[in-house]
Chains A and B, each alone.
Chain A
Amino acid sequence: QKEVEQDPGPLSVPEGAIVSLNCTYSNSAFQYFMWYRQYSRKGPELLMYTYSSGNKEDGRFTAQVDKSSKYISLFIRDSQPSDSATYLCAMSPNYGQNFVFGPGTRLSVLP
């Protein structure tokens, strides 16, 4: 079993849809959870960062962490074609060190 699992997609949705992206993990020591967006041929760009369990909202993006289920989610509201990218979850037991990434989910938002 991989330490972090993520549905690779591709996931295709119409413009304006609500998108749900998810990761599961096996290491209960993870405390820091991040979502990155990566456009083709670019480095990952941080979208959301959360510590421990709970929800965090930033504009059209909401991140949820459920440590009891070892499950994290990223919701994108009113999705736009510019949201088309690969979304990577990442997590770490210690802040700033040894990030473990999921394999990424490729999202296409169709106009």
Chain B
Amino acid sequence: ETGVTQSPTHLIKTRGQQVTLRCSSQSGHNTVSWYQQALGQGPQFIFQYYREEENGRGNFPPRFSGLQFPNYSSELNVNALELDDSALYLCASSRLAEYTDTQYFGPGTRLTVL
């Protein structure tokens, strides 16, 4: 078990709504990355947070935003939902400073936009 948890497990929203997804990182990890995984595709990097600051961003529009809290948990917010936002949203935590460490993924939140 990786120790990374995500909530909710499933979510259904309609186009134009806003959604907040949550992630609790593994104990001792101070870095959280978010990924979008469309059906039949590999995960696509959205952004990463390290010690509460954004530390890299993929090719996603500004309506995808995030937060990291002092306990290193994180939120992903998506505004003005579009049908193409339907996907599995994965959170991964790591200790960025550790050379031999890597990312541990949570089970994901499946978002359906109708």
- Interface of A toward B, CB cutoff 8 Å: 4, 6, 8, 34, 36, 41-46, 49, 88, 90, 95-104
Contacts and interface: CB of A to CB of B under 8 A. Distances in A.
18 contacts: A6-B42, A42-B107, A42-B108, A43-B4, A45-B105, A88-B42, A88-B43, A96-B101, A96-B102, A97-B96, A98-B45, A98-B56, A101-B35, A101-B44, A102-B42, A103-B41, A103-B42, A104-B40
Nearest to A44: B105
A25 B106 CA distance: 26
A36 B35 CA distance: 14
B86 interface: no
Interface in B95-109: 96, 99, 101-108
B42 to A, nearest CB: 3
Interface residues of B, number: 28
A104 B107 CA distance: 17
B103 A46 contact: yes
Given A101-B42, A104-B42, A43 B102 contact: no
A30 to B, nearest CB: 14
A66 B101 CA distance: 22
A104 B41 contact: yes
A109 B53 CA distance: 43
Contacts of B43: 44, 88, 99, 101
A31 B63 CA distance: 31
A96 B42 contact: no
Contacts of A42: 107-108
B31 interface: yes
Contacts of B77: none
Interface string B21-49: 00000000001010100001111110010
